[in-house]
Structure 1
Amino acid sequence: MSENVAVDTKTVESSELSQTLAEIASKSQQLVQDFLKREQNAHHISVHDALHMSQLFQQLSARMMSNPMALMQAQMTFWQDYLALVQNATLRMLGVRPEPVIAPKKGDKRFQHESWEENPVFDFIKQSYLLAAEYLHSTVKNIEGLDPKRARQVEFYTRAFVDAMAPSNFIHTNPEVLRATLETRGQNLLNGLKNLLDDLSRGSVKMTDLDAFEVGKNVAISPGEVIYQNDLIQLIQYTPSTDKVYKRPLLFIPPWINKFYIADLQPENSLVKYIVDQGFTLFMISWKVPKKEDAERGYEDYMTDGVFKAMEVVLAETGEKDLNAIGYCLGGTLLGSVLAYMSAKGDDRIKSAAYFTTLLDFSDPGDVEVFIDELQVKSLEERMNRTGYLDGRNIAVTFNMLRANDLIWQYFINNYLHGKEPFPFDLLYWNSDATNMPAKMHSFYLRNMYLRNALREPGGITLLGEPIDLRKIKIPTCFVSTKEDHIAPWKTTYEGVNLHSGPTKFILGGSGHIAGVMNPPAKKKYFYWTNDGGRKIADPDKWLEKAEKYPGSWWPEWSKWAADKSGTQVAARKPGANKFKPIEPAPGSYVKERIV
């Protein structure tokens, strides 16, 4: 240990160690047993899961063996690089500092500590790992003849294995953890074991200080009232912050895969607050957390008891004949379905619609595709048939796996190896606040959208007895997507422009699925692109070539578009002052239900 490094240690007496170990032992056995029992029921590996993995790697092996020369060349390249690394390590022992054979990619947080560079042993461990990882990735990526979807799945699971085996994830090969273990005489590992047992009892990895936030207290605090509720939704009307508001009200349809308050975290990054401050009368749907008794609630129920009922209440409460709507992510897919159905029925109550990071065409659904094929959907259906719903913790793990180093292993190292508590972060608090999905609805969504890609086809889906066609939607629409979105890739969301017959506007923001959407103007972050050339451009790449790039948030750009579709100014509307009386203050009780 370097003498010039400041050490802040807590001396641990042997009696304290014994007591701590005894406390851990007394509760760990039951917690682990409970955890394993819960996992067996909720996450057990079905025949379909095992068959899926077996088929994937059988296909990979067959393709690799069909071109042995390519495999041999890859192996030779790896061994040449490895021998060069051994030679470099020997030179370092002799005091020579050669150029590294391989270096971490820019932004790789796993190897930022100076010891990974300065200590010859850890430098060798790091480079050995990176060489092996590069060999595995390149070998899998360059295998020819695999179906593109299978290739994507193989690459994903290979990456997951490689990420899990990083030396930073193990006590003896992580210099920071070794130093902390020596300095605290192992207290970091005892604290980490306590954290692990707490996480096992809760059923999820702790990513933030869960006690630092409370829904309705310091997140989801925009003022308003719940003015309607049924067994599926609560409808919130937000309190105006301007004396005048636009005549036409605005209904926000969030995804049901997570809680609506991603749009209302705290005042400084709240999209809800921004919309209200621009003079819109905003209504928000808050979906109820489904339970076993909701197993038969289907996609059409989310239309009738969800969107259509909310529309009815909005119009009755405001005294208006029509409204505008926003759909975010899955909420946008639902909005598109509703609009297509309404067009078939001649219902024109929605005058304009905005889609935020919404897939209407699922031909390239992004990284999520690795989890969706016939065998994996059957496996999910087996789980849901036992419980009546898909546990939101399963969904959270699935999405976290897509960015495992940032959303899994970072917290594994911090919580369990360093024994530290994660920092308070409102976005990660929301991310940890999972919700369930009803079995019938989720099965319908996966099969009709992801597997069949039927929504984009005229008459591909029948809803409430009506074959629907997105091309019959003629109202003005605005699509907002983000350039680095791995959940709803922007070029795929752009296909929605080609599926609507009315005037369309497309705005491309910076960053990803969440950060790129919840990007308030005050932060002055990222860029956005738009193209108001006056005619539709079918190809997304050609659209981007002709688009203008602007600094900052896309919110004002969308707001100008929405204001133009919202009519004249009228006196501000107090929530629940007309047909529907306040039930409880925003954000309501449905959003406060937790499954963990």
Structure 2
Amino acid sequence: MTQERVESRPFHELDSLWHAIQGRWTMNFSPVATGLAFSDWLLHLANSPGTQATLWLRFWELAAEALDERSRPPADATELSDRDRSRCRCDDPAWESEPYLSMRVIYEKGCRWWEAYATDVPGMKPRHKAFISFLGREMLAFYSPCNHLWTNPELMRLTAEEGGANLARGGLFWTEDMMRLLGWPVPRDEPALSVGRDLAVTPGEVIYRNRLMELIQYRPTTGEVVDNPVLIIPAWIMKYYILDLSPENSMVKYLVDQGHTVFMVSWKNPGYEDRETDLEDYIELGVMEAVDKIEEVIPGKKLHAAGYCLGGTVLAMAASAMARDGDDRLKSLTLLAAQTDFSEAGELMLFIGHAQLSFLEDIIRFQGYLDTGQMAAAFQMLRAYDLIWGTWVTRYLMGRREPLNDLMTWNADATRMPSRMHCRYLRDLFLNNDFSEGRFRVKGRPVVISDIHEPVFLVATEQDHVAPWTSVYKFHLSSDARSVTFVLTRGGHNAGIVSEPGHPGRRYRIATIREGDRYMPPGHWYHDTPVKEGSWWIDWQRWLLAGSGKKGTPPPMGRFTGTGEGCPAPGRYVFGT
């Protein structure tokens, strides 16, 4: 290390400290990245008189439309987009009377003007245009008449009926939440559902543990089991039991009851001591050591490997490395809402530019990890109408504490992300797209998707704000698999995957592309593939059966090895806070 670099190190640490302090007040947005985007917008707008004239003309046209719309019959709710319905939750008939009708119509027209015209400034960088559009929507959300007492007829009526008791309860809830935010030890209400009692209750044993994960083997419930076991790799952004929620919607229980031998990885919730844990550690200590342990328990049997979200991305990397090295222990690959090409990774890319990423790296390097609250804030910003303003109205203005269901309980059970891993994940995958373009290395050598030849089952969800379905579909562009079965299911990133048989309103599209078939663009695929009613789990289970050997006697439960002692499922790491 040169003398110049040694002397500059303390000042670099000062930068990290300063950015960490800034992040607490900017919701981890880089003020430099935000300033560059606004400057790009303002400078190009100032230098475009024609665009300015168009904006003003369209503004007055929309104002005239708003005045005219007040006299029309109320619009059919089915004609509104999902974003319009969530932006202004105006289902009560009182919204069709004055003055609330005018406020609602003016607000909706203003939002449409911003989205369609205010950011349509020629010359702007596409990233800056998307970022400005996003920030504008977030700021406009504050002005929604639904979010304020005096402009929401439902809230006014509730307040009158309860004599203001709803506001008193809401004020108490707000005070408690602010005290927790400031670090005061305010006790929380015990959740109605708890892990090990109501959630993650499928019987099993932890048969392996290392410093990063536990491996759970689930007990069979059938006299005969499918010849090839199933290994599930969840994301470590949240706890594993999203795939083992309540017994009636547990993917693990469904597979076990269908005669599959199921293994699940449960990741440790990292702390400061794990700050140097790298993305490759999740491949080696997570996926590869799980495969090694399963081979020890069931020797000679190839695995059906399934990965969810970030767990699916890492599984695809591990599968590529195994194929590269001649390791043929995988029978098939299932990727659930998992991206391998990040060139069109959706609205999460708004948080990932060079300036923003450098700022975030300083914050999490100083902490040693990305905190649960920081990660939750990013996802809340993406769905502010529901997760921020919906909570504001329900909790603080209506004074209601809604009980948590199983999915909400899981969603509140957040985990941290090691700083080294998360920085590399964002920079190498999201920003540079190294895996899709053949630059990501495992054990010092590149891994590429085209090395994978096993059949692939690919699942995406229609309303996914984390892994947009067109981004997941891009796996086809790099794949050289014998067949790729693609499923597009109704729902979001979580609800679309937790889609158990019997759940009302479920539907999906499914089609298989085989080796030698011509590529079909996602839009064409969507329109040419018919809709099926029900759960995609059924088709997946049939696909697993078709790619497996004959059924036989259940294998023995594995003997525990690794760190510490064995224990029943759900294990110890799932309780890490």
**Both proteins in one fold, TM over 0.5:** yes
Name the counterpart of 1:564.
Answer: 546
Q: Distance in 1 between matches of 2:403 and 2:260?
A: 35
Alignment of 1:588 onto 2:567:
no
Partner secondary structure for residue 471 of structure 1: helix
Q: Distance in 2 between matches of 1:563 and 1:413?
A: 48
Name the counterpart of 2:261.
Answer: 281
Name the counterpart of 2:367.
Answer: 387
Name the counterpart of 1:75.
Answer: 56
Name the counterpart of 2:407.
Answer: 427
Residue type matched to 1:179 in 2? R
> Residues 101 and 486 of structure 1: is their aligned pair in 2 closer, same or farther, counting only changes over 3 Å?
closer
Check conservation: 2:207, 2:561, Cα contact below 8 A: no
Cα offset for 1:487? 1.7
Check conservation: 2:23, 2:30, Cα contact below 8 A: no
Residue type matched to 1:465 in 2? G
2:205 alignment partner, one of 219, 225, 230: 225
Q: Distance in 1 between matches of 2:76 and 2:50?
A: 24
Partner secondary structure for residue 335 of structure 2: strand
Alpha-carbon displacement from aligned partner over 1:393-433 (angstroms, at most 9, x marks no partner): 21112112111111111111011111111233221111111
**Which residues of structure 2 form unaligned runs of 5+?**
1-19
What pairs up with 1:393-412 in 2 under 5 angstroms?
393-412=373-392
> Residues 166 and 579 of structure 1: is their aligned pair in 2 closer, same or farther, counting only changes over 3 Å?
closer
Check conservation: 2:364, 2:419, Cα contact below 8 A: yes
Q: Distance in 1 between matches of 2:456 and 2:511?
A: 14
Alignment of 1:343 onto 2:323:
yes
Name the counterpart of 2:214.
Answer: 234
> Residues 132 and 545 of structure 1: is their aligned pair in 2 closer, same or farther, counting only changes over 3 Å?
closer
Alignment of 1:543 onto 2:525:
yes
Cα RMSD (Å) of the superposition?
Answer: 2.8
Paired residues in the alignment total 547
Residue type matched to 1:470 in 2? I
Q: Distance in 2 between matches of 1:187 and 1:323?
A: 58
Name the counterpart of 1:212.
Answer: 192
Name the counterpart of 2:13.
Answer: none
Name the counterpart of 1:483.
Answer: 462
Q: Distance in 2 between matches of 1:526 and 1:168?
A: 30
Name the counterpart of 1:573.
Answer: 555
1:105 alignment partner, one of 80, 84, 95: 80
Residue type matched to 1:73 in 2? T
| Greater CA drift, 59-68 or 413-422 | 59-68
Check conservation: 2:74, 2:96, Cα contact below 8 A: no
What pairs up with 1:44-123 in 2 under 5 angstroms?
44-45=25-26, 49-82=30-63, 105=80, 107-108=85-86, 110-118=89-97, 120-123=98-101
| Greater CA drift, 164-173 or 69-78 | 69-78
Check conservation: 2:227, 2:301, Cα contact below 8 A: no
Residue type matched to 2:99 in 1? V
Q: Distance in 2 between matches of 1:79 and 1:99?
A: 22
Cα offset for 1:84? 6.5
| Greater CA drift, 368-377 or 502-511 | 502-511
> Residues 568 and 579 of structure 1: is their aligned pair in 2 closer, same or farther, counting only changes over 3 Å?
farther
Name the counterpart of 1:160.
Answer: 138
Q: Distance in 2 between matches of 1:578 and 1:231?
A: 15
Between the aligned residues of both structures, percent identity stands at 34
**Which residues of structure 1 form unaligned runs of 5+?**
1-38, 90-96
Check conservation: 2:27, 2:374, Cα contact below 8 A: no
Name the counterpart of 2:9.
Answer: none
Partner secondary structure for residue 379 of structure 2: helix
Residue type matched to 2:90 in 1? F
Cα offset for 1:199? 2.0
Alpha-carbon displacement from aligned partner over 1:266-319 (angstroms, at most 9, x marks no partner): 112111111111111100001110100000000111111111111111111223
> Residues 390 and 346 of structure 1: is their aligned pair in 2 closer, same or farther, counting only changes over 3 Å?
same
Q: Distance in 1 between matches of 2:27 and 2:467?
A: 28
Q: Distance in 1 between matches of 2:526 and 2:244?
A: 30
